[in-house]
Amino acid sequence: MRTAIIAGGKGTRIGGFFPDLPKPMIPISGKPLLQWQIESLVAQGICDVTFIIGHMADQIQAHFGDGATFGAKISYVVEDELLGTGGALVLLPPEDTLLLYGDIYCEVDFSRFISFHNEKKGDITLFAHPNSHPHDSDIIVTDQESRVMAWKSKNDCHRGDLRNLVNAGLYVFSSGALPKGPATKRDLERDVTAPMLQGGKMFAYRSTEYVKDMGTPERLAEVENDIKSGMAASRNLKNRQRAVFLDRDGTINKLRGLIDSPDSIELLPRAAEAIRLLNKSPFLAICVTNQPIIARGMASHEQLDMIHARLDTLLGKEGAYLDDLLFCPHHPDKGYPEENPDYKLDCQCRKPKPGLLLEASERYSIDLSRSYMIGDSTADILAGLSAGCTPIGIKTGEAMNDGKYADSIQSAYCTYDTLHGAVKAILEENLRLATE
């Protein structure tokens, strides 16, 4: 697949600190950002690259030449007049194209991203992830099939609660979806991708991998620190990940029976702080929760999504996020009023069965033997044990007093008073092992 990298902008926020360099040539840990991108692509067998350049284009051409030194085949589209982030796309060959912004540092398994695009058979796929500041980010709204349904601007003060999912600046375009017409100034999001929403063939690929733009000195410093610590590279899904799986009700938010309204979601004290600690650690934070309100006819998938949007919003206000949230909509027992017969079954995803954890492991390349399951009930503990994780009980919510699977788990777990206490213990143990 051909790759195109948009590398022609001036970088107004950070350019003043490097006035003699185009933004994509700013050095990170000793070499230009664009070189990091090229080396990552070539290492994964993606060698045919086109740079879209304009501002200080000669420096980029002088450094990379035809790409042979880097194991690549590099060509150039040079903008005599800056055409914005999307204007020069009409000059690319009509081929399937992986498109990257030139001001991002990424550690991504591109084969997974491209495979997802091919499976969906869409026109365009966005690389998307949650972040720690969704309140001031443009949010992508998707359906159950990962189809992008809307794009909510950060400037929309009436947009309400939304799931935490933002565009990371990587795309795959099918050949027929690249823009056509004259090479006029265009914005990639506003003028190219937004009009494609109506066709229903735009998808979002959700990933936990490392993608960060370095448009400010603070972000540049963060990227350099993450490279030096090894954290950035470790998040590439070519590497096995570690996760802390979290129950929802009674673990992250207060236990209030079967929650069927967003208004009933209230975070437990210091729960967001605990998740924020995980976000800054080597561990993914993934919620796995039984939600029989679907099977019992108490809510639709759309209504449950609104509940989870409220959860994401409350966490986001405190600078925390879940890398993903997986739920089981089933219930094995019949006889409830207004129940949905399609979901009344004995499934493999309802805890204490480990199906949700196994699904997450497959999706995010998680080493379950080096991961944890935290919850407030014996079902959580048994699910963790069954998946091969280290289980931890906490004394909020049901406080491990439900007794349903006590005989199966016996004393094969430890307990802490709160989610924060459990996460702190995990991270302290991880740090001790890393320094031994």
- CATH no. for residue 404? 3.40.50.1000
DSSP string, 32-57: EHHHHHHHHHHHTT--EEEEEE-TTH
Note whether 53 and 98 are same-domain residues.
yes
Q: What is the DSSP letter of 23?
A: G
Ramachandran sector of residue 319 (left: φ over 0; alpha: ψ -120 to 50; beta: rest):
left
CA distances to 86, 88, 167 from 193, rounded to whole Å, are 9, 14, 11
Q: Active-site residue among 103, 123, 226, 247?
A: 247
The tally of domains found in the chain comes to: 2
Judge whether 291 and 329 are in contact, CB under 8 Å: yes
Tell me what pLDDT residue 14 has: 64
Mark whether 191 is an active-site residue. Answer: no
Of the candidates 162, 192, 225, which is a domain's last residue? 225
Residue whose C-alpha is closest to residue 245's, from 390, 41, 115: 390
CA distances to 68, 105, 111, 167, 229 from 310, rounded to whole Å, are 50, 30, 33, 20, 34
104: its two tokens: 């991002």
Tell me what pLDDT residue 13 has: 63
Note whether 22 and 114 are same-domain residues.
yes
Degrees to nearest 5, angle at CA 63 with 61 and 65: 55
Note whether 424 and 399 are same-domain residues.
yes
Name residue, tokens 């096995």: 240
- What string of pLDDT tens digits covers the 436 residues of the chain? 899 999 987 666 666 678 889 989 999 999 999 999 999 999 999 999 999 999 899 999 999 999 999 999 999 999 988 899 999 999 999 899 999 999 999 999 999 999 999 999 999 999 999 999 999 999 999 999 999 999 999 999 889 999 999 999 999 999 999 999 999 999 998 899 989 998 899 999 999 999 998 878 888 999 999 999 999 999 999 999 999 999 999 999 999 999 999 999 999 999 999 999 999 999 999 999 999 999 999 999 999 999 999 999 999 999 999 999 999 999 998 887 889 999 999 999 999 999 999 999 999 999 999 999 999 999 999 999 999 999 999 999 999 999 999 999 998 899 999 999 999 999 999 999 888 7
- CATH no. for residue 35? 3.90.550.10
CA distances to 141, 161, 163, 165, 319 from 152, rounded to whole Å, are 7, 11, 11, 10, 19
Tell me what pLDDT residue 343 has: 95
Q: Where in the sequence is the domain holding 394, given as residue range(s)?
A: 240-435
How far is it, in rounded angstroms, from Cα 132 to Cα 120? 28
Note whether 32 and 123 are same-domain residues.
yes
Note whether 181 and 262 are same-domain residues.
no
CA distances to 37, 330, 383 from 346, rounded to whole Å, are 47, 8, 15
Residue 231 domain-assigned?
A: no
Note whether 22 and 168 are same-domain residues.
yes
Q: Active-site residue among 103, 123, 213, 249?
A: 249
Mark whether 247 is an active-site residue. Answer: yes
Note whether 205 and 319 are same-domain residues.
no
One-letter amino acid at 24 equals P
Note whether 309 and 344 are same-domain residues.
yes
Of the candidates 163, 194, 225, which is a domain's last residue? 225
Tell me what pLDDT residue 435 has: 84
Residue whose C-alpha is closest to residue 272's, from 76, 420, 128, 145: 420
How far is it, in rounded angstroms, from Cα 282 to Cα 392? 18
Number of Cα atoms under 13 Å in the Cβ half of residue 313: 15
